[in-house]
């Protein structure tokens, strides 16, 4: 009952695509969205996310121009506006400890002694832009280069979280004073699209001002027990890395797919690595097909995830009354690297002229390996999913 929430969303989109001339095309559009979150008042508990109404409006335009047979340029602009009307209770001790009583006295609707009812009405105006080129070489290579400016308004969780997040088994705290994130992203992509061997290489650099992250800060005793406390904050961040995809036709029936992902994130304000950055990972796959035999396809995947070796130290000490000692709670150290194998196959059986049955069998984590994923919020409490067998039946008629 504590998470008996009703979130209703209405979304409207209108767009127009047209050619200004033989070489230039234009895509313009408008978007509107209304969101309402309502909690069941009969539960008698404080909500993690408060009651709110959110109004979003956006307008955008994207134009691309073909300079010649090989070079295409694209530019885009977007404006986003968000307004929120929120009703939220704060414990007065928390309200005053954050300095909200001095920063936002005008949003207090009523004082109930131990709590205050507030009515925040923030609004955000954000601009985004992009510019890029696409150059095709004669031998099947294509080069993309792009710069983008993106702004993102904070969401309700980041602004107003204040309580126990049941699915993550932790207390989460937002911040009323957050501004929009502003990201400057530079990226390039080189593709080889023809031949037996094809690949894509995509390096990128993302500089983000007022980057919003959530991190552990301590523990809190409640009537339900002890829980970790995670708080949102803003900082200056740098994200950089690259992705590589490759395909190689070993034969007409056998195909190799490979992926490699590398990303690093740094907190420029604290001069530390960012928390919850994906570790380096690789995926290698062999796919065997036999179209003449019920369109048979069999795939064997090898997934290797390295241990994250750059992370902030968010450990903290907790006093144990029974022993009278303080112990360190390790919430920072990432789990070790792990290797998973996956097997899948599918075939299609013709039932008659108009109907066919597609049968697929997938076995994830084939060898039932015990592992923990650094990005899984429940990794502190249990191993990740073991062997998982999925049978798919799809009847087309």
What 3-state class would DSSP assign to 91? strand
* Torsion (CA) 86, 92, 98, 103 in degrees, nearest 10: 60
Q: Are 48 and 3 in contact (CB under 8 A)?
A: yes
The residues, ordered by sequence, that sit 6+ positions from 142 with a Cβ below 8 Å of its Cβ are 134, 135, 136, 189, 190, 191, 193
pLDDT number for residue 324: 85
pLDDT number for residue 139: 82
- The token duo for 326 is 């303080």
Helix (H) or strand (E) holding 261: strand 254-267
Q: Are 136 and 142 in contact (CB under 8 A)?
A: yes
> What b/e string do you get for 343-361 counting C-beta neighbours within 10 Å, with b at 16 or more?
ebebbbeeeeeeebeeeee
Q: Percentage helix, strand, coil, to 5, in the chain?
A: 5, 65, 30
Cα 279 from Cα 305, distance rounded (Å): 7
Q: Are 144 and 189 in contact (CB under 8 A)?
A: yes
- Per DSSP, 269 falls in state T
- The token duo for 344 is 């899948």
Angle ∠(323,329,334) on CA atoms, nearest 5: 155
Cα 53 from Cα 34, distance rounded (Å): 7
- The token duo for 248 is 């190689």
Q: Identify the bridge partners of residue 109 per DSSP, sorted by sequence position.
A: none
73, 76, 55: which is closest to 136 by C-alpha?
Answer: 73
What 3-state class would DSSP assign to 96? helix
Query: For the chain, what is the total number of helices (H) and then of strands (E)?
Result: 3, 22
Cα 264 from Cα 276, distance rounded (Å): 10
Q: Identify the bridge partners of residue 394 per DSSP, sorted by sequence position.
A: 358
CA-based R_g, the chain, Å: 26
Burial class (CB within 10 angstroms; exposed 0-12, middle 13-18, buried 19+) of 63: middle
- Per DSSP, 386 falls in state -
H helix intervals, the chain: 92-97, 100-103, 156-160
Cα 159 from Cα 168, distance rounded (Å): 18
Q: What is the pLDDT of residues 319-364, one digit of tens each?
A: 888 888 888 889 999 999 999 999 999 999 999 989 999 999 999 9
Q: Are 64 and 76 in contact (CB under 8 A)?
A: no
- The token duo for 236 is 């200056």
Q: Are 256 and 286 in contact (CB under 8 A)?
A: yes
Q: Are 255 and 287 in contact (CB under 8 A)?
A: yes
Cα 127 from Cα 129, distance rounded (Å): 7
Half-sphere exposure of 251 (CA within 13 A, CB side): 5
**Over its length of 397 residues, how does the chain's per-residue pLDDT go in tens digits?**
667 788 899 999 999 999 999 999 999 999 999 999 988 777 777 777 889 999 999 999 999 999 999 999 999 999 999 999 999 999 999 999 999 999 999 999 999 989 999 999 999 999 999 999 999 998 889 999 999 999 999 999 999 998 888 778 889 999 999 999 999 999 999 999 999 999 999 999 999 999 999 999 988 888 777 888 999 999 999 999 999 999 999 999 999 999 999 999 999 999 999 999 999 999 999 999 999 999 999 999 999 999 999 999 999 888 888 888 888 889 999 999 999 999 999 999 999 989 999 999 999 999 999 999 999 988 988 999 999 999 999 999 9
DSSP assignments along 284-348, one per residue:
EEEEEEETTTTTEEEEEEEEEEPPP-------EEEEETTTTEEEEE---PPPPPEEEEEEEEEEE
């Amino acid at each position: 009952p504590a998470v008996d929430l009703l979130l209703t969303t209405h979304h409207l989109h209108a767009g127009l695509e047209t050619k200004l001339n033989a070489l230039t095309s234009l895509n313009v559009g408008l978007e509107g969205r209304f969101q309402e979150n309502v909690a069941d008042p009969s539960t008698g508990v404080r909500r993690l996310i408060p009651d709110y109404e959110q109004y979003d409006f956006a307008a955008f335009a994207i134009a691309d121009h073909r300079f010649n047979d090989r070079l295409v340029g694209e530019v885009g602009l977007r404006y986003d506006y968000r307004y929120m009307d929120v009703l939220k209770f704060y414990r007065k001790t928390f309200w005053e400890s954050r300095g909200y009583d001095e920063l936002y006295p005008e949003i207090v609707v009523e004082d109930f002694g131990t709590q205050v009812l507030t009515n925040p009405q923030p609004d955000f105006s954000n601009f985004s832009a992009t510019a890029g080129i696409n150059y095709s070489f004669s031998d099947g290579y294509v080069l993309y280069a792009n710069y983008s400016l993106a702004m993102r308004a904070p969401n309700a969780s980041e602004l107003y979280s204040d309580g126990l997040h049941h699915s993550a088994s932790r207390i989460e705290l937002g911040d009323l004073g957050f501004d929009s994130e502003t990201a400057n992203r530079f990226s390039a992509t080189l593709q080889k699209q023809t031949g037996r061997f094809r690949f894509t290489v995509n390096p990128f650099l993302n500089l983000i001002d007022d980057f919003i992250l959530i991190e552990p800060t301590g523990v809190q005793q409640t009537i339900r027990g002890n829980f970790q406390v995670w708080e949102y904050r803003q900082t200056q961040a740098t994200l950089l890395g690259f992705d590589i995809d490759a395909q190689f036709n070993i034969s007409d029936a056998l195909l190799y797919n490979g992926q490699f992902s590398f990303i690093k994130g740094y907190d420029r304000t604290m001069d530390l690595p960012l928390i919850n950055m994906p570790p380096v990972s690789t995926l290698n796959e062999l796919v065997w097909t036999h179209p003449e035999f019920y369109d048979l396809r069999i795939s064997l995947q090898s997934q290797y995830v390295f241990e994250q070796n750059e992370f902030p130290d968010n450990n903290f000490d907790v006093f144990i009354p029974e022993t009278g000692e303080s112990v360190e709670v390790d919430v920072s150290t990432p789990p070790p690297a792990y290797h998973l194998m996956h097997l899948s196959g599918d075939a299609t059986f013709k039932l008659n002229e108009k109907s066919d049955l597609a049968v697929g069998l997938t076995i994830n984590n084939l060898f039932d390996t015990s592992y923990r994923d650094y990005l899984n919020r429940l990794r502190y409490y249990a191993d990740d999913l073991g062997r998982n067998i999925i049978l798919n039946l799809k009847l087309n008629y």
